[in-house]
Amino acid sequence: GNSVTQMEGPVTLSEEAFLTINCTYTATGYPSLFWYVQYPGEGLQLLLKATKADDKGSNKGFEATYRKETTSFHLEKGSVQVSDSAVYFCALSDGAAGNKLTFGGGTRVLVKP
């Protein structure tokens, strides 16, 4: 079955530091890959996505590249802000089950001023 594995947190960084959150997946076929973000007290929001190999998703300074050869979709941001403090979820959709998403366990990121 499908699965998503992401690095455990919490990840604590200083403002303007570089952020990487690792994500690897197992899936049949050719899944679409996603990063969702959950700010404190809120629901999840789609941050970025990639639908095929070598696609790069980007939004709000975050980037992730769909690497089929390594089955990875690592999230990166060059200079984080305090407002980036949140929980980040990697997810995949293989299309075989409609819009059903398989989520990773989430990585909490705390950015200190």
Partner 1 sequence: DAGVIQSPRHEVTEMGQEVTLRCKPISGHNSLFWYRQTMMRGLELLIYFNNNVPIDDSGMPEDRFSAKMPNASFSTLKIQPSEPRDSAVYFCASSPGSSARGELFFGEGSRLTVL
Question: In the complex, which residues of this chain contact partner 1 (CB under 8 A)?
Answer: 32, 34, 36, 41-46, 49, 51, 89, 91-93, 95, 97-101, 103, 105-106
State how far the Cα of 90 lies from the Cα of 24, in Å rounded to an integer: 9
* Minimum distance, C-beta of residue 21 to partner 1, in the bound complex (Å): 15
Cβ-based nearer residue to partner 1, 36 or 62? 36
For residues 79 and 13, is the Cβ–Cβ distance under 8 A?
A: no
CA neighbours closer than 13 Å in the CB half-sphere of residue 44: 17
Strand order in the sheet with 56-59: 19-21, 75-77, 62-65, 56-59
Of 28 and 99, nearer to partner 1 (C-beta) is: 99
Q: Closest separation between CB of residue 40 and partner 1, Å? A: 11
Least spacing, CB of residue 59 vs partner 1, in Å: 13
Please state the closest distance from residue 26 (CB atom) to partner 1, in A.
16
- Nearer to partner 1 by Cβ, of 34 and 62: the residue is 34
CB–CB of 43/37 below 8 Å?
no
Pairing assessment for the beta strands 19-21 and 11-14 based on DSSP bridges: unpaired
